[in-house]
Amino acid sequence: MAYRIEVDQDVCISSGMCVADAPKLMRFNDDEVAEVIPGAEPLPDAELIRLARGCPSGALQVFDGDTPVEAF
């Protein structure tokens, strides 16, 4: 099973780094908070981890199934 990424929208500061780094996966919603684009093609696991590490607020969380990946 591939990793997946989620946004904790209460923590997101809308820096736009994830949207700029992964525009086919991430976007801003109507409230200008980052979200995963529904139905978007997933990124490789290593890229998801890199994306989450780059989030200045720590709002991106990577999961292996239902288990958070503690690689940060």
| Domain of residue 11, CATH code | 3.30.70.20
Mean pLDDT (whole number) for 38-58? 96
Mean pLDDT of 28-57: 96
Coil, strand or helix at 16: coil
DSSP string, 19-72: HHH-TTTEEE-TTS-EEEPTTPPPPPHHHHHHHHHT-TT--EEEEETTEEP---
Total number of domains constituting the chain? 1
> 70 pLDDT exceeds 80?
no
Query: At 31, phi and psi to the nearest 5?
Result: -95, 10
Here the tokens at position 11 are 């923590």
Q: Which domain holds residue 62?
A: 4-68
The string of pLDDT tens digits covering residues 24-41 is: 999 999 999 999 999 999
Average of pLDDT values for 45-62? 96
Gap between the Cα atoms of 22 and 18, Å rounded? 6
Give the per-residue pLDDT at 17. Answer: 97
